[in-house]
Amino acid sequence: MQIGNALNIGVQGFQEAQSRLSQAAQDIASQSVQDSSVEGVDTNDLTTSLVDLKVAEIDAKANAKTIQTASDVLGTLLDIEV
């Protein structure tokens, strides 16, 4: 795998995780507003949104590590003297 490909895959994965994180946060916020005016709170939807939020966070961290590793490898290659 080329370093540029690894970097691009990491960035794309990070952007997708960020999008899912934003969506989960928006879902949680909208459920909180709806639940404050309704007695029968559906905790299943809230739980699913919270799990989605945590999974997106872990995914973003993993992709950030991929980006950092690709950057480190590229830096190492540039530092090698021929």
pLDDT of residue 38: 55
* CB of 46 closer than 8 Å to CB of 35: yes
Q: Are 6 and 64 in contact (CB under 8 A)?
A: no
- Provide the token pair at 75: 């830096």
Per-residue pLDDT tens digits for 39-53: 555 677 889 999 999
pTM of the shown model: 0.75
What does the pLDDT read at residue 77?
A: 86
Neighbouring C-beta atoms of residue 63, cutoff 10 Å: 20
Residue type, 32: S
Question: pLDDT (tens digit, 9 = 90+) per residue, 12-61?
Answer: 999 999 999 999 999 999 886 665 555 555 677 889 999 999 999 999 99
User: What pLDDT is stored for residue 53 in this prediction?
Assistant: 95
Query: How far is it, in rounded angstroms, from Cα 13 to Cα 60?
Result: 7
